[in-house]
Amino acid sequence: MLILGLNMFHADASAAIVVDGEVKFAIAEERLNRHKHFGGFPALSVKACLDAVGAKISDIDHVAVGQDSDANLAEKVKYALVNPAKILNFIRLRRRKEAMRDVRSLLSIALEVDPARLRFQEHHLEHHIAHIASSYYCSPWERAAGFSYDGSGDFVSTMMARCEGNEIEVLDRVFLPHSLGSLYTMICEFIGYTKYGDEGKVMGLAPYGKDTFCQQIDKIVATKNGGFHLDLSYFKLLGSNQGMQVLPDGTVRLARHYSARMEKLFGEPRQLHTEITQRDMDLAFAVQRRFEEVFFHLLNQLHRQVPLGDLAMAGGCALNSVANGKLFDRTPFRRSYIQPAAGDEGLAIGAALHTYHSVLKQPRRQALGNAYLGPEFSESRIQSALQNAGLQFRKLERTPLLDSVAEQIAAGNVIGWFQGRMEWGPRALGNRSIVAHPGLPNMKEVLNARIKHREWFRPFAPSILADKQHEYFEHDHPSPFMLHVYKIRPEKRKALCAVNHIDDTGRLQTVTREENPIYYDLISAFERKTGIPVILNTSFNENEPIVCTPEEAIDCFQRTRMDVLAIGPFLVKKETTA
Ligand SMILES: [Fe+2]
C-alpha cells in the first residue's frame, strides 16, 4: 500500500512516501528548489518520493495532508467575530484553503497526469495531530503521552494527547492567539531576528543574558488550569494565520508580532545588523526561561492525565533543544522521542502514518531507525560531478578514507563530509555535515570566518559516540537527532572547548553504529588519534538550505575556505591544505 504524505502551502513544504507502513523517503522542498523554508506546493518532493520507490502517481492509494481547514472551525469563527478587523483576512484564508484542498488537481498539474488516472483517496488531518503522529508512530512505543507545540496550525498552538496502540486521543488544545511559539517569535523580532525560523538563534543568545527582565516577561504569559494565556496587549493583532504569511512565490513572511507596549517597556527594537546589547541578551534570557517554565507546566499537566514515562513530541517549538534537555529533571517523563523533522516538514510523515495506522487500522511497524530518509547519489554520479568541476581527487577504500579524514580533522582542518542518504529534518547528522576538531580553541572563529558567517554567539554542536556519552555529558538519555542540550562534564569542557557553549552545554548528537556506521567509524578513527570520541558537526551549507546533491556540495566546497571534501569514496584537498 502506497501512501503519499504532504505538507503544502505552509512553511517547510514537504512530501513523504510510506510503503506498507514504512517511511521509505521523505524530503523538504527547500532542499530541492533551494528556497529556504519554501511554503508552496512541494512538486519536486513528490516527484522525488515517487522516483525513490519506482512508483507513478497513479499507483498511489492514499494521499494524506497534514492540515485540515475544517478543524476547529467554531473557534476560528468565534475569533473572527470578536476581532472584526480580521474577518476579511479570515474569509480570504478560507477561500485559499478551499482552493488548496483540491489535491487531485494540484498533483495532476504538477506531474502532468490526467486527473482521471489518479485513484487515491484523500485525507486531511489536523496540524497538531499530524505532528504528534509523526513522533508517536515513529517511536518504539505502544503507549505514550503525545505533545505538540508551535506558533500555530489549524488555529491551535498546543496539543496534548494520549497515544495508545494505533490511536491518538486528543486530550486538550490551546487555541490561538495564545501560543508559546508566537511569544518566542515576538521577542525574536523585537531583538532584530525577523525571519521565519530565527528562534534557534535567540535560544543560543539566551545564556549570555541575565535575569533583568524576567519579572516583566513572566507577566506576558500566565499559566492556569494546565494551560496558558498570553497578555495580548504586548502583541499586535495577528489574525487566524498568527502573523505567518506564505507569499505567492512560496516565501514565508512574518508579520510584526510586538505591540507599542513592548517599545514602551523595553525601548527601541533592535535593528538587524546593529550591535547586540545587554538588553537584547537579557530579553533572550527571559523569554527562554519563561518558555521553559510554561513548557514544563504543560508537560506536568499532561503527565497527570497520561502517567507514563514515555513522551512523543513534535511541533516547531520541540526544536528548542535547551528545553528538551531539561525535561527529564523538570517532569516525570523518563524518555522522549522527538521526531527529527519536528517542525512543519514533519507533517508529511505524520499525516501519512496516521492514515496507515489510525484510518486504515494497519498494525504498527518497527520504529524509525534513523533520519536518513533523503536522496543518495551513486559513485559514478559523484565522480562525474568532481570531474565536471575540474577537481583533482583520490578514490580511497573505506578504512584509508576514514583514517585520512580523521587525520585531517586532528590537524585542525575543516572537512566537508558528504555520504549516503540526506538527513530528514533541519539538522545535519553526519551525512551532509562539515566536521572539525571539537577541542581547538579557535575552531569556532575559523568556521565562522571561513564558511558559516554565523552570529558570534551561536554554538557549534558535537557528535559523540553514544557509548561515550556518559563520560562527557551529565545526562545519558540519547539524542540521536541533535535535539537535546546537556551540560558537559567539568573535566571535559577543555577537550570540547569548540562545542562548549557559554553555559557549559552542548547540543549533542549521539551516534550509534546501527544508525550510521560510517559516521560512527569516522568518530572512532578520530578518537584513536586524539583520545576524544567527539567531532564538531555543523551543517554542510553556507547561508542556504543544506546541500543535497554532489554538485551543491562541490560548489559549497569551492566557494568557501573548506580544506578538504570527503564525498563518497573520494577525497579532495584544496591546494593550500597540508
Ligand atoms: Fe506546526
Ligand 1 ion local residues (Cβ < 5 A): 150, 153, 344
Cα 275 to ligand 1 centroid, rounded to whole Å = 32
pLDDT of residue 87: 59
483: closest CA among 302, 339, 291? 339
In contact, 299 and 311? CB cutoff 8 Å: yes
State the number of CA atoms in the 13 A half-sphere of 260 facing the CB: 0
Cα 150 to ligand 1 centroid, rounded to whole Å = 5
Buried b (16+ CB within 10 A) or exposed e, 16-37: bbbeebebebbbbbbbbbebbb
Cα 100 to ligand 1 centroid, rounded to whole Å = 18
pLDDT of residue 543: 87
pLDDT of residue 91: 61
- DSSP structure class, residue 363: P
| Nearest-angstrom CA–CA distance, 542 and 153 | 30
Cα 285 to ligand 1 centroid, rounded to whole Å = 24
Cα 451 to ligand 1 centroid, rounded to whole Å = 31
Cα 185 to ligand 1 centroid, rounded to whole Å = 14
Q: For 79, left (φ over 0), alpha (ψ -120 to 50), or beta?
A: alpha
Q: For 20, left (φ over 0), alpha (ψ -120 to 50), or beta?
A: left
| Nearest-angstrom CA–CA distance, 261 and 247 | 29
Cα 63 to ligand 1 centroid, rounded to whole Å = 19
Cα 343 to ligand 1 centroid, rounded to whole Å = 6
Cα 81 to ligand 1 centroid, rounded to whole Å = 25
Cα 152 to ligand 1 centroid, rounded to whole Å = 6
Cα 447 to ligand 1 centroid, rounded to whole Å = 31
127: closest CA among 243, 241, 291, 252? 241
Give the DSSP per-residue string, 10-23.
Answer: SSS-EEEEEETTEE
* Sole residue written with cell 469563527: 77
For residue 162, which phi and psi values (nearest 5 degrees)? -105, 125
Cα 365 to ligand 1 centroid, rounded to whole Å = 24
In sequence order, the 6+-apart residues with CB closer than 8 A to the CB of 384 are: none
Confidence (pTM):
0.95
Give the DSSP per-residue string, 530-568.
Answer: HS--EEEEEES-SSSSPP-SHHHHHHHHHHTT--EEEET
Give the DSSP per-residue string, 72-127.
Answer: THHHHHHHHHH-GGGHHHHHHHHHHHHHHT-HHHHHHHHTT--GGG---EEEE--H
| Nearest-angstrom CA–CA distance, 389 and 221 | 54
Cα 128 to ligand 1 centroid, rounded to whole Å = 7
Cα 7 to ligand 1 centroid, rounded to whole Å = 10
pLDDT of residue 89: 64
| Nearest-angstrom CA–CA distance, 194 and 204 | 16
pLDDT of residue 101: 63
How deeply is 397 buried, as exposed, middle or buried, from its count of CB atoms within 10 A (0-12, 13-18, 19+)?
Answer: exposed
pLDDT of residue 299: 97
Compute CA 474 distance to the chain's CA centroid, rounded to the nearest angstrom.
24
Cα 315 to ligand 1 centroid, rounded to whole Å = 5
Cα 168 to ligand 1 centroid, rounded to whole Å = 17
Cα 379 to ligand 1 centroid, rounded to whole Å = 37
Cα 13 to ligand 1 centroid, rounded to whole Å = 11
* Rounded alpha-carbon distances, angstroms, from residue 201 to 194, 197, 198, 252, 283: 11, 9, 6, 18, 13
Reading the block at residue 365, the C-alpha cell is: 511497524
| Nearest-angstrom CA–CA distance, 184 and 189 | 9
Cα 513 to ligand 1 centroid, rounded to whole Å = 31
DSSP strand pairing (310-314 vs 143-153): parallel
Cα 347 to ligand 1 centroid, rounded to whole Å = 8
228 SS3 class: strand
* Rounded alpha-carbon distances, angstroms, from residue 538 to 183, 416, 428: 28, 10, 7
| Nearest-angstrom CA–CA distance, 72 and 149 | 16
528: closest CA among 435, 446, 465? 465
Cα 26 to ligand 1 centroid, rounded to whole Å = 17
Cα 425 to ligand 1 centroid, rounded to whole Å = 13
Cα 525 to ligand 1 centroid, rounded to whole Å = 39
In sequence order, the 6+-apart residues with CB closer than 8 A to the CB of 254 are: 185, 189, 194, 195, 196, 243, 244, 245
pLDDT of residue 520: 98
Cα 199 to ligand 1 centroid, rounded to whole Å = 14
In sequence order, the 6+-apart residues with CB closer than 8 A to the CB of 100 are: 8, 9, 69, 106
Using only C-alpha atoms, the chain has a radius of gyration, in whole angstroms, of 23
* Rounded alpha-carbon distances, angstroms, from residue 278 to 57, 207, 426: 54, 11, 29
Cα 424 to ligand 1 centroid, rounded to whole Å = 16
Give per-10-residue mean pLDDT for the chain (578 aa): 96 97 97 96 96 97 91 76 63 61 87 93 96 98 97 95 97 95 96 94 96 95 90 87 87 92 96 94 97 97 97 98 97 97 98 98 91 98 98 97 98 98 98 98 92 90 98 96 98 97 97 98 98 98 96 97 97 78
Q: Which residues share a beta bridge with 159?
A: 148, 173
pLDDT of residue 338: 97
Cα 28 to ligand 1 centroid, rounded to whole Å = 14
In sequence order, the 6+-apart residues with CB closer than 8 A to the CB of 209 are: 278, 281, 282, 283, 284, 285, 286
pLDDT of residue 140: 96
* Rounded alpha-carbon distances, angstroms, from residue 266 to 188, 191, 254, 269: 13, 10, 21, 8
191: closest CA among 295, 270, 291, 83? 270
Cα 477 to ligand 1 centroid, rounded to whole Å = 25
Helices then strands, counting H and E runs in the chain, come out as 19, 23
Cα 316 to ligand 1 centroid, rounded to whole Å = 6
Cα 5 to ligand 1 centroid, rounded to whole Å = 15
465: closest CA among 405, 519, 511? 511
